[in-house]
Amino acid sequence: MPSKPASSSFEGDFAPGEVLIGRYRVIALVGEGGMGQVYLADDLVLGQPVALKFLPPHLAERDGGLERFRAEVRHAREVTHPNVARVHDIGEFQGRHFLSMEFVDGEDLASLIRRIGRLPHEKAAEIGQQICAGLAEAHRRGVLHRDLKPANVMLDGEGRVKLTDFGLAVSAQASGSSALAGTPQYMAPEQLAGLPADERSEVYSLGLVLYELYTGRRALRGRTIEDLRREHEEGPPSPPSSVLSEIEPLVDAMLTRCLARDPLQRPSSVLEVARGMPGGDPLAAALARGQTPAPEIVAAAEVKGRLSPRTALLLAVGSLLLFVGFAFGRTWYLDRVGVSYGKAPAVLDERARELFSQLTSEPAPGFDAHWYALENKFLPAGEQGSEATPTLGLQPLLRHTRFGPEAFTPAGGFVSVFDPMPTPGTAHVVLDASGRLVSWTHWPTSIGKAAPGTDVDWSQLFALAGLDMQAAVPIEAEFVPRANAGERRAWKIGDGPWRVQAAALDGRPVQFELLDGERSIGWPPAPRPDVSLWVILGFTAVAALVAWRNLRQKRAYLSGAVVVGGFELATHLVLAFDGTVPTDPMGFGASLFLVLAIAAGTALRVFLFFLALEPFARRHWPGALISWTRLLEGRFQDPAVGREVLVGSFAGICATLVIVLSGAALAALGLQTVTVGLLFGILGISSPIQTLFQVVHFWGDTVMYGGIVLALLVAFRTLVRRAWLGNAIWLVLASLMMSGFNFEYPAMIAAMLGALSAFLVLLTRLGFIAVVAFAGVGGTLTSQALTLRPGDWYFASGLISLLVFGLLVVWGYRASLSGRAAVR
């Protein structure tokens, strides 16, 4: 679009001062060409100057002319970027179609080159980077310009580039037409041959424009299509250095690549061109302009540092050895302290059915649900260092079984102690890993009075719990039974805090449980009113509003959100098929539908939060997202991605080992007890397939919560405007939260502080993938049952975890090499 002339000698179809459609007052005709007349006008509504581009009548009457004109508006409005001239609207006046667009008060590049010749290298580099930035944004929006040439590159009065004239633009998906479109002197060889254009064709056109910008001469001298085709057949254009000897080798090499006759020999994208030219850091340029860099710019940013083949091999082998060592070491330690995973789930479940029949004189109902739980205070007396708190030989791993006369329909999708609430005919049995009774509760279907003289044989229940009733001291029963009862009893066991409380109805026990002081071992306290759902819904509503704003402002990474949301959906859906969801006799019950709904809701929330928060992180800390963005684009073998996976996995194992070993050392010194959660992993141990699905689900949660943690960290850094202060605040708060604000274990808080410091170092030095691998591997080590001892019933589950981890490490290792030899 030509600049505004000081005194226009053009005679346009509309006189200065004429008002079009009651909105635009014509000032002057400022340009005229094959694609129409361009007028400078005042927009009386917006109060600003605009350019009005009219479609020539002969083009409007030609097939496709009017549609191509409308396409210019449609495609140009999809591209919002400082280096692309904004298109406002389309209108019609006296049968003439026009579009209104941003008026650039300046000069087009073709006119500038004709007037002064080649530009100084510094100015050429600056203009070239801006052309690349605008064109890259168009490609990101799926739009090919198809008529890139110096005449369509405007420079305003401050030297800013504006790409104009998207009249021949098409969507990248619709570029398969072989119709010749564009200016032949700036077409790629395949376009002149009638083949479809793509991004590499646009790279060729970009190379021609930059060639002219740096040398002051056109790379192709032909004037007709036949001359140009002949010129292409003779070979590529002469390198820029043959025209200008002082041209930088970097520019000469890149432009030579851009002008390769074979499209596969050219750079794959405009961003690759920008990165290979002087000043080639589009990410830094976007941040300097105060913009949120596009995901493609982030993905194209340079990643410093690369693992040598030897280092990659050491990390991979070291990770596998540490994983195996952790599995053997934990098994050895559990044996040493006298705790174990006990009997197989099927054995414990059959034991629960036998207990039901034994205590009720009835067969066990046909419906049941099972799950594991941990009792963190169960530790061997020798480890406690005091005989005043015996553990009575109980194991910390508890197996829960719920019986019912009909299928369970829990509101949360999974059966728990309180979901669904117990009804008549149901029972709840809790056994420790060795099969000893910890808790028994029965809600009988009938209510009656006990027969005269009927006594409950409490010694039977004591025996089932592995206790000697003769050594128990009766005490006053001051509890309210969970089930309807006519008799209450309580006993104190030994000199420690252990107690037993029981209740009976009609001569049969309806409640029997072991307590540690006032706390029931197998029965957790009643849940408090849960407001988390409303909090989640509130945050989701806010995220939806922010996501919508980001979409409208074209800052949202929509394709990335779809990938992450789909990943979350898949990793949550697996729980519907791992055997933990109760179903009706037809095999497809309400609980399954609920789990599917929960999975879909979780995926939707992650999708919205990604759209809302990712642009914020991309604006304030894009360096942490470079490899992550590449991964979302499907670049699974990118060396930067492999490096982060490998280093993060190794660091995750090391951090977990430090926490576990420090806890064990403090316990050996009598300074604190061992946290059972670090010794036992209970996710998915019921079967190998459940283990696999739980591992997959766990990694989905790791990505989800890792993204939230990253957003919070960026928020702290941004709010206090000091990275180090934001890091410190986050470290302290996160350490306290992860340790449960339990100041009785300062060593555990210190261990968490160290682990989170490693998390922060990985995020700062590498990126988001590294911290996901770090947290995912550490969580796998502590949440999964790991053993490599074939005699253990959960051996297959341990192998599944090892297999998944091994695949992760092998992927990271192979990707980090990126085709290089394994050892050099």
Q: For residue 42, which of 23, 15, 68, 64 has the smallest C-alpha distance?
A: 23
- The verdict on whether 147 is a catalytic residue reads yes
The contacts of residue 50 (CB under 8 Å, 6+ apart) are 24, 40, 41, 42, 43, 88, 100, 101, 102, 103
Q: How many CB atoms lie within 10 A of CB 70?
A: 15
Q: For residue 754, which of 766, 746, 765 has the smallest C-alpha distance?
A: 746
Strand residues in 18-122 grouped as ranges (E): 19-20, 24-33, 36-43, 48-54, 87-93, 96-102, 106-108
- Among candidate residues 13, 42, 105, 147, the one labeled active-site is 147
φ, ψ of residue 291 to 5 degrees: the values are -95, 160
φ, ψ of residue 522 to 5 degrees: the values are -95, -10
* Residue 152 DSSP code: G
Alpha helix locations (H) across 442-531? 458-464
Q: For residue 629, which of 550, 549, 544, 564 has the smallest C-alpha distance?
A: 564
The contacts of residue 21 (CB under 8 Å, 6+ apart) are 91, 92, 93
The contacts of residue 194 (CB under 8 Å, 6+ apart) are 178, 180
Residue type, 163: L
- Could you tell me the end-to-end alpha-carbon distance of the chain, in angstroms, rounded to an integer? 56
The contacts of residue 408 (CB under 8 Å, 6+ apart) are 367, 369, 402, 415, 420, 582, 591
CA dihedral 408, 409, 412, 413 (to 10 degrees): 80
Evaluate whether 105 touches 4 at the Cβ level (below 8 Å): yes
Q: Which residues, listed in sequence order, are joined to residue 501 by a DSSP beta bridge?
A: 490, 513
Strands 519-520 and 96-102, sheet pairing:
unpaired
Which residues does the annotation mark as catalytic? Answer: 147
